Structure 1
């Protein structure tokens, strides 16, 4: 049963959390959290998303707050480090925030940077992780097919685990996967799954070897599990730069998947300079626990968004709620 809008607003808190370093073009992460019968949950679609796209995020938040998650198959989730588009001199400091992580996802194809910048960053990550470390790169759809082919060939020397969303469209992913098949580097789809009207289109088109799955954009844990079952592809469960409450949702999703072949992208609380809890879900020994998160009242107050931003988020909640209620 859909809770009323008044029930959602009753416990709603809007926070603005600073990041350790600039990530995806932002320096702070805003989120709206509220409490349901089964615990705290999060609604935090990126600010540029419209109500139609944000609707899945609200369904996810309601599902996690008003339903018990599936029984977990594991108590901890092995996670990867995430390296933003920083200079090579900053790589060691970034990786130090992910103790015990054997895998690093490195952002590439950042606006205003060059392939030479990406190569230097990945080379330094390889130097820090050593030969046994695993490196995956994420272009967030920033390359066209020709650029992607050139970049993947140039980065292949670093023994990539996979390349995430090298191009923006499903057709381009099909093309680049065929062009680079000789390199034997898997292609992963992220935005093509979570921002698509039909998440199964990627699998049907043969556009990817694996999928990067996020609980919020796919409508919640149960919706994501259904998509995973239908695609038949291996998955990596990741976060959308959530607070520890949102990461908890992702951890419960990862815990319910029978087979996890890859380390998950759920260590991103380490990119936040502040969180909503005194026990954030940051990696310890390369993994995070599968557990609910209860926010700290003092931290909610300290990092409360401005009155204008709170009003903006409550208006967004109301308009998105109208979309799903309709």
Structure 2
């Protein structure tokens, strides 16, 4: 059951979190938070997403705020550092924000940058983390098949843990996986899961060695767990640049998984100058327990009036879509 719109609006708070580094083309991350019987939840589909896609994120938030969640199997979640597409000289500064993290996810294929920029950034991460550190790269589907193959070869010297969403389509991922299989570098799928009408297609096609799953885009923790079970592949739980409230939902998902073989992408609160609660990594992990926003932080980080109204109207439209289904 979907709660009444008035129940969502009565506690709704819209925040804008300033970032330490421009990421995904934004300098501040906006999100709408509300409280239900089970606690606080987050509704934060990226602004470019249409209402049909955004409604799934609202369903996830409602589920987290109104319904009991699966029982946790662990109380701490190991997380990776996230390195935006910064100049190589800034890598040590970025990594310093992720206390104790043994794994780094490095953004590559940034529009306007070159493979040489990616190589320099990954090399800087390897030098900073040493031989024991784990490095994964994420292209967000921005390479074509030949570019991806060339990039994997060029980055292989840095002992990659895996390459995340190197190409956009499932067919390209399957082709690339065949081409580079002899190198022993796994392929991970993210957008091919969370933005697909059929999130299991990538697993059926043998197009990935592991899946990156995110609670909000997949409609909530329970639905994400169902996808993981059906796919039968190892998974990494990640965030969609969530606030601490969304990260706690991701941590709830990670805590409920029977197996958790990879460090999770849930340390991204470290990319904000300030968050609504403290979910920054400590000793390479975050707490899996639920968090509530700090009242003073909600006030300090409140979005401008026009942005607040934009998000409230989006909430109304997406709620209307959910009540029609």
What corresponds to 1:185 in structure 2?
185
How far apart, in 1, do the equivalents of 2:194 and 2:86 lie?
26
How far apart, in 1, do the equivalents of 2:209 and 2:295 lie?
43
What corresponds to 2:311 in structure 1?
313
What corresponds to 2:248 in structure 1?
248
Q: Specify the SS of the correspondent of 1:49.
A: coil
Count of matched residue positions in the alignment of Structure 1 and Structure 2: 324
How far apart, in 2, do the equivalents of 1:34 and 1:28 lie?
19
Determine whether 1:200 maps to 2:203: no
What corresponds to 2:216 in structure 1?
216
Cα offset, 1:68, TM superposition: 1.5
Cα-to-partner distance string for 1:39-82 (whole Å, 9 max, x where unaligned):
00000000000011011100100000001111100000000000
Cα offset, 1:31, TM superposition: 0.1
What corresponds to 1:283 in structure 2?
281
What corresponds to 1:88 in structure 2?
88
TM value normalised by structure 1: 0.99
How do 1:1-326 and structure 2 match up within 5 A? 1-277=1-277, 280-326=278-324
Moved more, 290-299 or 259-268: 290-299
Cα offset, 1:33, TM superposition: 0.2
TM value normalised by structure 2: 0.99
Cα offset, 1:163, TM superposition: 0.0
Cα offset, 1:268, TM superposition: 0.3
How far apart, in 2, do the equivalents of 1:159 and 1:43 lie?
37
Q: Specify the SS of the correspondent of 2:313.
A: helix
Q: Specify the SS of the correspondent of 1:178.
A: helix
How far apart, in 1, do the equivalents of 2:317 and 2:17 lie?
24
Q: Specify the SS of the correspondent of 2:308.
A: helix
Cα offset, 1:168, TM superposition: 0.4
Cα offset, 1:16, TM superposition: 0.6
Cα offset, 1:294, TM superposition: 1.2
How far apart, in 2, do the equivalents of 1:296 and 1:184 lie?
45
- RMSD in angstroms over aligned alpha carbons? 0.5
How far apart, in 1, do the equivalents of 2:11 and 2:112 lie?
41
Cα-to-partner distance string for 1:283-324 (whole Å, 9 max, x where unaligned):
100000011111112111111111110000000000011111
Cα-to-partner distance string for 1:234-275 (whole Å, 9 max, x where unaligned):
000000000000000000000000001100000000001111
How far apart, in 2, do the equivalents of 1:324 and 1:11 lie?
19
Structure 1 unaligned residues grouped into runs of 5+: none
Provide runs of 4+ in structure 1 moved above 4 Å. Answer: none
Report if the CA contact (8 A) 2:16-2:29 is conserved: yes
